[in-house]
Chains A and B, each alone.
Chain A
Amino acid sequence: METIIREGSPKTPYVRLDGEKGLIEIKGRSIPENSVEFYKPLIDWLDKYGTTPLESTDVNVQLEYFNTSSSKCILDIFKKLELIYKKGSKVQINWYYEEDDEDMFEAGEDYQSIINIPFSMIEMEE
Chain B
Amino acid sequence: MGFDLDKWYAQKMQGEVILKYMGDVSSDKITEALEGIESNLNLKNEINKTRKKVYNVFVECIQNLFHHVDVPPVSAHVELVPKFGIIILARDNSFYRISTGNFVRLDKVNIIKDRIDQVNSLSDEEVKMLYREILGNEGITSKGGGGLGMLDIVRKTGNKLEYALYPFDDEYVFFSLDVYIS
Q: Which residues of A contact B (CB under 8 A)?
A: 10-11, 31, 33-36, 64-65, 67-69, 71-72, 75, 98, 100-103, 106, 110, 113-114, 126
Contacts A11-B31, A67-B63, A68-B145 given; indicate if A103 touches B53 (C-beta within 8 A).
Answer: yes
Asked if B52 contacts A101 (CB within 8 A), the reply is yes
- A69 close to B56 (CB less than 8 A): no
* Count of chain A to chain B residue pairs whose CB atoms are closer than 8 Å in the complex: 71
A69 to chain B, nearest CB (A): 5
* B residues at A contact (CB < 8 Å): 27, 30-31, 34-35, 47-49, 52-53, 55-56, 59-60, 63, 66-67, 128, 131-132, 135-136, 139-140, 144-146, 148-149, 152, 155-156
Task: Name the distance in Å between A101's Cβ and chain B's nearest Cβ.
Answer: 6
A10–B34 touching, CB < 8 Å:
yes
- In the assembled complex, how far is the CB of residue B158 from the closest CB belonging to chain A, in whole angstroms? 10
Report Cα–Cα, A100/B30, bound state, in Å: 28
The 7 closest A-B pairs by CB, nearest first: A68-B148, A114-B136, A65-B56, A68-B146, A69-B146, A72-B146, A68-B152
Name A110's contact: one of B47, B48, B49, B131 (CB within 8 Å).
B131
